[in-house]
Amino acid sequence: MFLARELEKKYSKQQILEFYINNIYFANGYYGIEAAARGYFSKGVSELTTSEMVFLAAIPNSPGRYDPVKNINSTLERRNLVLLQMYEDGKLNTVSYHTALGEEIVLNEQQNHHNNYVDTYVKRCATESLMKAYGFSFQNNFENESAYNAYCDKYDQFYSTCQQKLFGGGYTIYTSIDTDKQKALQEAVDNALADETEVNDEGVYALQGAATCIDNSTGNVVAIVGGRTQDYDGYTLNRAYQSYRQPGSTIKPLNVYTPYLQLGATPDSIVTDEAIEGGPANADRNYSGDMTLREAVRVSKNTVAWSIYEKITPKAGTAFLIKSGFRKVFVDKDRVAGALGGFTYGVTTEEMAGGYAAIENDGIYRTPTCITQITTIDGREIVNTSDRGTKVYEKDACRMMTDMLQTVVSEGTGAAAAIDNAIVAGKTGTTNDNKDSWFVGYSRYYTTSVWVGYDMPKTITRSINDNKTIWHDYMEKIHAGLPQLPFAQYTVKQAESATQQASSKAATIHSEPETITNVRIPSLPSYTAPADIAVTGPAVPVQGSVSGLEHNAATLPMGDNDADISGLGDRDASGDSSRPNTQ
């Protein structure tokens, strides 16, 4: 009521109504009457007939119920009701009323109006950025699935509220998406899978790929591909952040090996590859006995990862993932299968890119986003994502992990991903029966994660090198002309042997991350249900129509190691987390 009175002091009722119809939601991603007219009828408002105008006016009362694409009969019924009320109120004469009532409504939707991969990701990141600005508490650590479901309900409510504000408040959104890199990544996915033309029952390509690329200097997403290019008049599934899949061995550096190095192990530490009763087998079904940790990583020994994970405990290993923004691994805190990527729900390419980017960034995790800034219609900044960072791993542990992952690419399972114009590190990953195929890796400049598989998991019968081909072709292209930068070197303390350190420190790890001693394992806050929606952030001006998305590729100094992580000690509990994917 107070806001309405203030608006009436400044604007006429006619102006307020104009602001309203230029911003209200008309379903299917259309905000404002002009966008709706062009979206549904491929013409401007001034070209609409009376019947078409009233048809559109019927939608905002309940965009879901009166969605003209899905429920056109309901939309027509409401149109007829509005026409009758206009006739009874004398707004339409008899001839105009019956003419409008008898007119057949034929939708002539704009081609390609459905959201593409960049659109969907920008909208999601922008909405979540606004949610954070308005005080929503993001979480990904929960006591149980009931708590998780309660959180999702709160999230959905807040998301809907902020999405409406975002697209109805005249905001200007600045993104980090690089159109050249976006095109290159899409082409890499399309070209690698071009000879697979099988489609599913909905007409969508059966074999799919997804990928996310992060600029390591900022932690921002510069390219994201949620599937193969295809003319398809339907919902755009952005697999890069919406599809949760089993990551296979690509998860090992994040929850097994880097934590183990943090305990005091080194690439030269001796580990044992042997059969484990009730445990996994190696991909080649062979066991090599004693070997260095570097060699175990190079050939991706499952038994070694399993044994280490048992030592550091799944709860401690999972703590690193939760601190690194993985949204759905909380249910796997007690499951050793997580050592090999055997999760209840899985992970996304966005999450994997964010996790590996943290290793390249000396252990500082930055929540992946493509939003750099959001300003209001009067130029006030309400979102700026440049200053963010959470310490997850120790610097030397990350540098040792990078050194071992270089070996994977130079002479290990990732050799097919090696490129000539950059120094890179990375890891392969496949799941049981080759249902998911991954490669995640990085240079000093960029981190890219790639997934290949079917939407409904089934065995990939063709070469499992498509993941590496996509990664190779894309990374080689975007590094053209860039100086080759080596990775930073690590130092090893010599007070006692790495094996002795690892053995003694591993023994101090208890079941809960909060009780770990003598080792830098991230602690996690206990779950607290978010409060009811109460938007208390900056005022949103109700004026004008939706501003376009604006590209801003400005970057920060390499490394972003000056991110504010003050107070982070051996048992830090601060930092960002991200919501479960509930869209």
Four-way CATH pick for 2-102: 1.10.260.40, 1.50.10.10, 1.10.3810.10, 3.40.50.1460? 1.10.3810.10
Q: Is the pLDDT of residue 304 over 80?
A: yes
Q: Which of these ranges, 270-274, 365-369, 499-503, has the smallest mean pLDDT?
A: 499-503
Whole-number pLDDT of residue 111: 55
Cα(481)–Cα(534) distance, integer angstroms? 50
pLDDT at 470 over 80: yes
What is the DSSP code string of 29-42? T-BSHHHHHHHHHS
Quote the pLDDT of residue 203: 86
CA–CA separation, 206 and 435 (whole Å) = 13
pLDDT confidence of 163, banded at 50, 70, 90? confident
CA 550 – CA 398 distance, rounded (Å):
35
Residue-wise pLDDT tens digits, 206-221: 999 999 999 999 999 9
> Which CATH number among 3.40.710.10, 3.40.225.10, 3.40.30.10, 3.40.50.300 corresponds to the domain 214-551?
3.40.710.10
Q: Which of 356-370, 373-387, 518-532 has the lowest mean pLDDT?
A: 518-532
Q: What is the mean pLDDT of residues 139-165?
A: 91
Q: Where are the domains of the chain?
A: 2-102, 214-551
Helix runs in 60-178, H state only: 72-88, 94-102, 117-133, 145-168
**Closest C-alpha to 136, from 529, 403, 550:** 529
Q: Among positive and negative, which fits the CA dihedral 281, 286, 287, 293?
A: negative
Tell me the per-residue pLDDT of 384-441, one tens digit each, with 9 for 90 and over. 999 899 999 999 999 999 999 999 999 999 999 999 999 999 999 999 889 999 999 9
Residue 472 scores a pLDDT above 80: yes
pLDDT for res 115: 56
Amino acid occupying residue 30: Y
For residue 52, what pLDDT is reported? 95
Task: Kindly state the percentage of the chain with pLDDT values over 70.
Answer: 81
| CA neighbor of 7 nearest in space, from 571, 552, 564, 540 | 540
Using a cut of 0.75, tell me whether the model's pTM lies above it: no
Residues in Cβ contact with 19 at an 8 Å cutoff, skipping those fewer than 6 apart = 11, 542, 543, 544
Given a cut of 70, is residue 546 above it in pLDDT? no
Q: What is the pLDDT of residue 253?
A: 98
Mean pLDDT for the chain overall = 83
